[in-house]
Structure 1
Amino acid sequence: MGFEGDYTDLALGLVSVQSFPAIVGIADHMLKEAGVTLVGYEKIGGGNCTAIVRGGTAEVRLAVAEGAERAKQFGQEFSSLVIPRPMPNLEAVLPIGQRLAQLATGRGHSMLSSHAIGLLETRGFPAMVGAADAMLKSADVILAAYEKIGAGLCTVIIRGTVSNVAIALDVGMLEADRIGELHSVMLVPRPLEDLDQTLPLASCWIEKPQPLPMLLSIQAEERELIELPDVLQTITITRQEEPER
């Protein structure tokens, strides 16, 4: 949900917590509660993440209040701020300028064929990798990217239908606990485009945006086309070299 009101009464809203899945879930609720634009996330290390939204002052206040309430429900220590009528210099220096330029030019990625986004955060990279592997083997989901926010916290991001993402997260949680420390989990059903475009996306999906099963199918077909003549030629040569009886 983007801001379409009076741009002479703009405001910035910030909500900060100590988990990437938590801040994404909070941002999702903020977008669905109020008419604001999600500028993006600022990660300053130590596990601290801030969601930044922009819009009319009343809508931003509503969004920040919703974000604070969700942070409490998620059990997160949080801080929040509303800045009415920010100076242009402030917006230009903060990560807002680049995001607004993307919105103006229509640039950005999108994987809206997914019905849900799942985020699983661990303390320790091996636990995250093990959880990602288990999730991919347990349900029809794709691994979209991973995110590091400091303090040993890393988040794997998966996409798929709501049911498949839910199954995958259940399996991933068990595997993360087995290997290391599970820190946070979030399921976002029906993400808005604004949220979708602010999440990280691995370069393989940007360069090759085809779904993974399609890529594997194409590669398999290419191997068959290349290898089949070689096999036939080998059989023919072998038969020609056999001694006559």
Structure 2
Amino acid sequence: METPNPGFAPKEQFSRKDDLRESALGLVSTLSFPAIIQTADAMLKSSEVTLVGFEKIGSGHCTAIVRGKVASIRLAVEAGAQTAAEFGQLVSTLVIPRPLPNLDVVFPISNRLSDLAQFERDIRVSSQAIGLLETRGFPVMVGAADAMLKAADVHLMSYEKIGAGLCTAIIRGAVADVVVAVEAGMQEALRIDANSLNAVTVIPRPLDDLEQNLPLASCLIEEQPKPLKLPVAIKDKTPEAELIKLPDLAAIPVEIQQEE
């Protein structure tokens, strides 16, 4: 009798459309949330890879994790590292060819793998843009977010905290509006505290894969208007039908006519 290997899930549990012999994981780490979002955008647009998600471990460290074929992952990681270096925030990179199933289970990198195995990758490009403004300090970020909302027709999606006092306001809107809003947010952040601004970026036409991994991306879904409910009491004024008692048919005399 074969003894099962403890700690390892059965291989049939990880059956996917992509062949494990050709799959790989790519990781790029930065010290800024806007930098990691821009890095992930560059990785997605450089080759055919899928964004698994982000991992934030504190002190400003953020990691973008992508999956795809080995060659595509190498190209994506190279593009991501170059983008992170332009921000001056590159920490490290890693390519893992043919990861074993146990790695997917233990580490927090398998949140979307089961979904990715069932559906073909749907590449959709948004016609709008995403703006991110990162400050060191929460009050400065709130002030910058207020300035951005007042400067242009944009919507505040969410904010993100990654430790070390770094906070990022995330806005969405038309490309021109986002550019104007981010510029206004930068000026307000510098006015409040000249040393508080850490990083800013504008991502025009982000892929749907990126938007789905942003904080509170579900808030972008338009809610259907709910029907108006009025406290109206409706009474049925139709009179009740009166019951009519039918006669006993057996007691009714019947006239019998005899034939001549």
Aligned to 1:87: 100
**Higher helix proportion (structure 1 or 2):** 1
Amino acid corresponding to residue 207 of structure 2 in structure 1? L
Larger Rg: 2
Which SS does the other structure have where 1:170 is aligned?
A: helix
Q: 1:50 aligns with which of 63, 71, 75?
A: 63
Shift of 1:60: 0.4
Kindly indicate whether residue 208 of structure 2 is the aligned counterpart of residue 193 of structure 1. yes
- Where structure 2 has 5 or more consecutive residues not aligned to the other structure, the ranges are 1-16, 232-260
Shift of 1:113: 6.0
Distance 1:202 1:81 in 2: 27
Aligned to 2:130: 117
Which SS does the other structure have where 1:63 is aligned?
A: helix
What pairs up with 1:92-111 in 2 under 5 angstroms? Answer: 92-103=105-116
Shift of 1:137: 0.7
CA pair 59-155 structure 1, distance change in 2 beyond 3 A: same
Structure 1 length-normalised TM: 0.77
Shift of 1:202: 6.9
- Where structure 1 has 5 or more consecutive residues not aligned to the other structure, the ranges are 227-245
Deviation per residue, 1:72-106 (Å, 9 max, x gap): 22222320000111111111222222222344577
Structure 2 length-normalised TM: 0.73
CA pair 86-188 structure 1, distance change in 2 beyond 3 A: same
Between stretches 94-103 and 15-24, larger displacement belongs to: 94-103
Kindly indicate whether residue 79 of structure 2 is the aligned counterpart of residue 66 of structure 1. yes
In percent, how many aligned pairs have the same letter? 61
Kindly indicate whether residue 37 of structure 2 is the aligned counterpart of residue 24 of structure 1. yes
What is the aligned-residue RMSD (CA, Å)? 2.5
Kindly indicate whether residue 225 of structure 2 is the aligned counterpart of residue 210 of structure 1. no
Q: 1:38 aligns with which of 51, 64, 69?
A: 51
Distance 1:105 1:125 in 2: 40
Distance 1:145 1:70 in 2: 23
Which SS does the other structure have where 2:185 is aligned?
A: helix
Q: How many residues align?
A: 207
Amino acid corresponding to residue 202 of structure 2 in structure 1? L
Amino acid corresponding to residue 28 of structure 1 in structure 2? D
